[in-house]
Amino acid sequence: MKNTLIATWLISLTALLCSLFWYNEYRYNLPTPIPPHYNAIKNGQYVKLDQQLSFNNNKPVFLHFFNPDCPCSRFNIKHFKEIALKYSNRVNFAIIVISAQPFDAKAIQRKFELSIPVIHDPALAVICGVYSTPQAVIINSDKKLFYRGNYNRSRYCTDTQTAYARQALDDLVNKRTNSSTDFLATKAYGCQLSE
């Protein structure tokens, strides 16, 4: 009788853990719902950046929209860091923290192991048409939107064939038009921004 109770308890616990894991996987594999008052910003549209993001050069700007509480954002840290290190001489990078919780910019820089601006400005999400994290926004040297979208089709950013943000950045620095035609590149996935 005691062994049956223990076995039943273990099976129930395992089933609960599996269902929680499945729910989280399922939830983050669905597109993020578009907010009712969403204002889409089209590629080629002028983007006025905040004073905190005024770089003293004419390089393109890559904004990484990040929420420390979002599992998808946390999975993306290594991938973003690789992009930032690869293009650091040709592109300005910044991390835009979108979180209701207080955060420490220095702690985020340490987490990413990058010395780039880290700011909290939810208005930038609206200006850039971002409604989930993680999202990449690339603004060309004419201050026009070149790309807004996902880093990768894979939640863990491991699919090299769909490295959308990296491909868009590569197109920009090599003076090509944005070659990302996969609709998944611009369909938001991840954690919805709180309204």
Mean per-residue pLDDT, 78-105:
92
Q: Please report the domains of the chain, with CATH numbers, ordered by start residue.
A: 51-192 (3.40.30.10)
pTM: 0.83
More confident call, 54 vs 158:
54
- pLDDT computed for residue 101 by the predictor: 83
Beta strands in 4-160 (DSSP E): 61-66, 92-97, 118-119, 132-133, 135-139, 145-149
More confident call, 29 vs 58:
58
More confident call, 170 vs 27:
170
Q: Looking at the DSSP assignment, which residues form a beta bridge with residue 112? A: none
User: 81 phi and psi, to 5 degrees?
Assistant: -60, -40
pLDDT higher than 80, residue 84: yes
Query: Please, are residues 134 and 64 in contact by the beta-carbon 8 Å criterion?
Result: yes
